Amino acid sequence: MKNLYLILLLGIFSCISSPNLDKLIDAKQIEQDILVLASDSLQGRAPLSVGEQKTLAYLEERMIGIGLDPAFGDSYLQEVPLAEITSAAPKQIEFSIAGGRLSMADGEDYTLWSPLLKDEFTLNQSELVFAGFGIDAPEYSWNDFEGINLAGKTVVVLVNDPGFHTGDTDLFNGNAMTFYGRWPYKFDVANRFGAAGCIIVHEEAAAGYPWSVVDRSGNNTEYYLNNEALTTNVCGANGWITREAASNLFEFCGLNYEEMKRKATVPGFKPIPMGAKFSATIRNTWIESSSYNVGGVIKGSERPEEALVYTAHWDHLGIGVPVDGDSIYNGASDNAAAIAWMLAIADGFTKLGSAPERSILFLSPTAEEAGLIGSQHYVNNPVFEHSKTAACFNSDVILFLGRFKDVTVTGLGHSELDEYLAEEAAKQGRYIAEDPNPENGMFFRSDQLPFLRVGVPALFAKGYTHQVEMGKEETLKAVEKYWRVTYHKPSDHYIPEEHSLEGLVEDTKLFFRLGHKLANESYFPKWSKTSEFYVER
Ligand SMILES: [Zn+2]
């Protein structure tokens, strides 16, 4: 009798457990958080501004109200040291071979900067080496730096990866960009192999953006995570050259650019000394300062050393160039809405009344827009060991279009988290979809990236391509319009009369259920063997 009673009781609990989770998501509060975080009074939430002070205060107050413990000792704040480096590149640079010189003009042909805390960085007669795509990928048995000593030398590399350039789906990930295709990877790996300079050839289709996006000749100021790498790294000259300038440079060296590019896509490619020397001096000035990540935790009841991490960056672009008389870049969709998503899930967990088996960290990183700086700093200084962190769920850039049939996974196929998501999405009557533009490499352009790079599987997924009433075609038009008209513009507002948060609320319920499942089991989702981030788990 006692057993029967228990079975009945368990039955009742399992039947109602899912709807109960949904009821704990507070849609009104989601809207309220967005309205506050995207209000003009927060001035576009730029790091180091008054907007930062107000944003941090609000997030801390909300985390306390929700009942989260401070993530960083007795503090909700994690200091993130920043360096704002302004590089003065030479107006002209010169390449020389025996009996010849080729000069190029800043902004027109190349753009150059130094990512180091050094007043001056000089390349003096630095030997040029064509290093293909600048990729070292053991899982593809691919190393564009094989057998060459790069000390003091400058590598010239191609953007994207061999898969994109050949369209061969067996080569890297075909048309979809891999992390090896992204410029931060290329500068990093050139430094790792000891090069003194790294220049990427810009091609618009392969990069995914025009020359104007990479050209820094007008404003060469960048934020960096201020750690020892800024003084110990050896690669002190980073830059891009246009495709046309590259073509001239190769010709000047007696090489054909298109032919070299073709060679670079063939497995077994070896770096090619170009026979030319490169000289340039870059002068830097910088300002050092600190911004802050905000984090709260729920301590796990059974395995508190194991964790899940939810992330949503708090920073946006602040006050900038006015558009239609509006100079405040409010960042409602990017990323006030994702912060609201994260806080609502935290609130759901604390309302459950009992802690999950694993700990959960709710992290709002700073300086995402400046290059994932806050999340990188967290990963360098984590609260939970990476090998004990089961997953990272990140959110960024939310559409206010209403409910979606799809859950679009940016970076589909990297880990078993896809299956976890598909199972929960099906309970909402939704299906998993691929990113419609995988060539843009969006998976590597938000806060999940630093986690991926240390072996923590991550999901970056949301309703995106199939709004319920609009259908796919109209939805994709609306998405295209968003990127063109709203993204990173002062018009990134949330307007209750015009916008719908129903899709966001549904995504919030989805990621609450997903986190609830994963926080109450002991399994660590595994990487796909084909992922460039694969590690044994
Ligand atoms: Zn964002």
Alpha-carbon distance of 486 to 495, in angstroms, equals 13
Q: Which two tokens stand for residue 302?
A: 């059974």
Q: Which two tokens stand for residue 178?
A: 């891999």
The pLDDT of residue 139: 86
Q: Report whether pLDDT(15) > 70.
A: no
**Tens of pLDDT, residues 257-281:** 999 999 999 999 999 999 999 999 9
Q: Report whether pLDDT(14) > 60.
A: no
CA of 315 to the centre of ligand 1 (A): 8
CA of 85 to the centre of ligand 1 (A): 22
β partners of residue 195: 151
320 and 210 within one domain: no
The pLDDT of residue 440: 83
Alpha-carbon distance of 308 to 522, in angstroms, equals 12
- DSSP characters over 275-333: EEEEEEEEEEEEEEEEEEEEEEEE--SSEEEEEEEEE------EEEEEETTEEEE--II
Which residue did the predictor score with more confidence, 169 or 256?
256
* Beta carbons of 515 and 358 less than 8 angstroms apart: no
DSSP annotation of 485? I
Averaged pLDDT of the chain: 94
CA of 131 to the centre of ligand 1 (A): 32
302 and 279 within one domain: no
Mean pLDDT of 77-87: 97
The pLDDT of residue 18: 55
**Tens of pLDDT, residues 360-370:** 999 999 999 99
CA of 234 to the centre of ligand 1 (A): 31
214 and 162 within one domain: yes
CA of 518 to the centre of ligand 1 (A): 25
45 and 59 within one domain: yes
Alpha-carbon distance of 177 to 414, in angstroms, equals 13
Domain-embedded: residue 533: no
CA of 373 to the centre of ligand 1 (A): 12
CA of 398 to the centre of ligand 1 (A): 9
CA of 238 to the centre of ligand 1 (A): 25
How many structural domains compose the chain? 2
Alpha-carbon distance of 70 to 76, in angstroms, equals 4
Q: Report whether pLDDT(228) > 70.
A: yes
**Tens of pLDDT, residues 127-173:** 999 999 999 999 889 999 999 999 999 999 999 999 998 888 888 88
Amino acid at the residue 211: W
Contacts of 11 by beta carbon, 8 Å cutoff, 6+ apart: none
Q: What does pTM read for this prediction?
A: 0.91
CA of 446 to the centre of ligand 1 (A): 7
Are β-strands 154-158 and 120-130 bridged in parallel, bridged antiparallel, or unpaired? parallel
Domain CATH for 379: 3.40.630.10
Residue 234's Cβ-count burial label (10 Å; 0-12, 13-18, 19+) is: middle
**For residue 344, which of 8, 22, 15 has the smallest C-alpha distance?**
22
Q: Which two tokens stand for residue 517?
A: 């499942």
Q: Which two tokens stand for residue 150?
A: 């790069």
- Cβ atoms within 10 Å, residue 35: 14
Domain-embedded: residue 9: no
Mean pLDDT of 60-68: 98
**Tens of pLDDT, residues 326-349:** 999 999 999 999 999 999 999 999
Domain-embedded: residue 3: no
CA of 369 to the centre of ligand 1 (A): 6
Report the percentage of the chain scoring pLDDT > 90: 89
The pLDDT of residue 16: 44
The pLDDT of residue 5: 56
Write down the number of H helices and E strands in the chain: 16, 21
Which H/E stretch holds residue 83?
strand 77-88
173 and 312 within one domain: no
Q: Report whether pLDDT(313) > 80.
A: yes
CA of 334 to the centre of ligand 1 (A): 5
CA of 272 to the centre of ligand 1 (A): 39
512 and 428 within one domain: yes
Q: How confident is the model at residue 3 (pLDDT cuts 50, 70, 90)?
A: low
Domain-embedded: residue 534: no
388 and 343 within one domain: yes
Supply the range of the domain harboring residue 512. 22-83+288-519
Q: How confident is the model at residue 9 (pLDDT cuts 50, 70, 90)?
A: low
The pLDDT of residue 177: 86
CA of 314 to the centre of ligand 1 (A): 8
Domain CATH for 195: 3.50.30.30
As residues whose CB is below 5 A from the ion ligand 1, the structure lists 334-335, 396
Mean pLDDT of 481-490: 93
Q: How confident is the model at residue 176 (pLDDT cuts 50, 70, 90)?
A: confident
CA of 91 to the centre of ligand 1 (A): 33
**Segments of 154-208 assigned E as strands:** 154-158, 197-202
Are β-strands 406-409 and 431-434 bridged in parallel, bridged antiparallel, or unpaired? parallel
CA of 397 to the centre of ligand 1 (A): 6
Contacts of 281 by beta carbon, 8 Å cutoff, 6+ apart: 90, 120, 121, 122, 123
Domain-embedded: residue 452: yes
CA of 338 to the centre of ligand 1 (A): 9
292 and 278 within one domain: no
183 and 47 within one domain: no
Lowest-confidence region among 14-18, 462-466, 478-482: 14-18
The pLDDT of residue 98: 87
Domain-embedded: residue 40: yes
Mean pLDDT of 215-229: 92
Domain-embedded: residue 197: yes
110 and 73 within one domain: no
265 and 119 within one domain: yes
The pLDDT of residue 460: 98
Domain-embedded: residue 162: yes
301 and 369 within one domain: yes
